Amino acid sequence: MPRTVRIHAYGDASVLQLEDLEIAAPAADEVQIAVKAIGLNRAEVMFRSNQYLQQAEFPSRLGYEAAGRVQAWGSAVSGFAEGDAVSLIPPLDIARWGTYGEVINVPAYLTVKHPANLSFEQAAASWMQYVTAWGGLVEQARLGTGDFVLVTAASSSVGLAAFQVARKVGATAIAITRTRAKVQALLDAGAAQVIVSDEEDIVERVMALTDGQGARVVFDPVGGPAFEALTASMARGGILLEYGALSSEPTPFPLFTVLGKSLTLKGYLYNEIVSDPAALARAKAFIIEGLASGELKPIIARTFALDEIQQAHRYLEANQQVGKVVVTV
């Protein structure tokens, strides 16, 4: 029987259990995939440890991203053939279509025949990061030529994707990282400039890099005390997209900065794009073209085997990587 990762309780990485499970035939609107690679996301760590927006019903599957080959499909599905190389745009339910396994059933409308130049590992590492970055920066912030964007948590896969998306639309990405350890890796990954927040004044550096105008867009999954410096670094009429809450500290509301600069502060979720068919179609077109041309190229930090899923989660939680963690099957 195919092996599947499930959790039977919340906890640390040791709750991830690899089990032999029967896989049902795909539903009418589903595609069944023989998985070759799985992309890991911090959302899965949060789900596993009961810190996520969605609650588990035990025993629970988990996982958002995968790539592999089509081996069956439901009665309402067309356009696929056995053996097609495909990857999955993450669905809206982390458990129902959990991707951590050797065989999975997934929604057909989110199953993509990715460009042939991608490996399965790259394809499995693409969709969460690029849909998230495109949706925030292009669809919502209208990032374009001449704009500056501040990218925090810059060594994450979404942060790296943001550099590439910004460059593709003619904008300049400024990465913010805590220490100097990842500076060169961020520059190599496409950041135009890097600010080391433990050593440099964020506001002073941003103003120097932008000739005093500030950044029109901020892309931040952290929150916390740095929120004040980020808003102070923004251009008048700018927009800050908050797409996470990685900081455990309170996030202050910089009232007078927001008023004085007429800023827009927006909570942003990847779900906003996936649940909007028109926006999703625009995202797919932009990303497929970028992946095919090489303008968008996922950076993989490290790969693990499926039976190393616990180690893979521990590595992801250590936060030492630059890029995506991928599990091969």
Closest by CA to 176, choosing from 300, 129, 162, is 162
Mean pLDDT in residue range 10-25:
97
Closest by CA position to 151, among listed 251, 247, 218: 218
| Per-residue pLDDT, 267 | 97
| Cβ within 8 Å of residue 180, ≥6 positions away | 196, 199
Sketch the domain layout of the chain as residue ranges. Answer: 3-126+298-328, 129-271
Of 69-83, 121-135, 199-213, 238-252, least confident by mean pLDDT is 238-252
| Mean pLDDT across 50-78 | 96
Phi and psi, residue 323, nearest 5°: 115, -160
> What residues contact 100, with CB distance under 8 A and at least 6 apart?
4, 5, 16, 38, 44, 61, 62, 63, 306, 309, 327
Q: Which residues of 112-138 are buried (b: 16+ CB within 10 A; e: fewer)?
A: bebbeebbbbbbbbbbbbbbbbbbbbb
Q: What percent of the chain has pLDDT over 90?
A: 96
Do 149 and 173 form a contact (C-beta atoms < 8 A)?
yes
- Residue among 100, 25, 125, 8 nearest 59 (CA): 8
Q: Looking at residue 96, what is its pLDDT?
A: 96
Confidence class of residue 247 from pLDDT cuts 50, 70 and 90?
confident
Token pair of 275, please?
A: 């649940």
Using the CB atoms, write b or e for 82-109: b if 16+ within 10 Å: eebbbbbbbbeebbebbbbbbbbbbbbe
State pLDDT tens for residues 120-141: 999 999 999 999 999 999 999 9
Mean pLDDT computed over every residue of the chain: 96
**For 85-114, how does the pLDDT look when each residue is reduced to its tens digit (9 = 90+)?**
999 999 999 999 999 999 999 999 999 999
- The predicted pLDDT at position 321 comes to 87
What pLDDT is recorded for position 136? 98
CA–CA separation, 55 and 262 (whole Å): 37
Alpha helix ranges (H) inside the chain: 42-48, 120-124, 127-134, 157-168, 183-188, 202-209, 227-232, 255-261, 271-274, 277-293, 309-318
Structure tokens belonging to residue 225: 């005390």
Note the pLDDT of residue 56.
Answer: 96
Place of tokens 């500030």: 214
- Residue with the bigger pLDDT between 267 and 246: it is 267
CB hemisphere CA count around 196 (13 angstroms): 10
Question: CATH classification of 3-126+298-328, choosing from 3.30.1950.10, 3.90.180.10, 2.60.40.1180, 3.40.50.2300?
Answer: 3.90.180.10
Q: Alpha-carbon distance 92 to 64, whole Å?
A: 9
Domain 129-271 sits in CATH 3.90.180.10: yes
Model confidence over 140-181: pLDDT tens digits? 999 999 999 999 999 999 999 999 999 999 999 999 999 999
pLDDT band at 217 (very low <50, low <70, confident <90, very high): very high
CB-hemisphere CA count at 13 Å for 107? 15
Please tell me the pTM assigned to this model. 0.94
Distance CA 273, CA 303 (A): 28
Of 40, 15, 52, nearest in space to 98 by CA: 40
Q: Hey, do 3-126+298-328 and 129-271 end up sharing a CATH topology, with the first three levels equal?
A: yes
84 pLDDT higher than 90 = yes
Checking if the pLDDT of 319 tops 90, the result is no
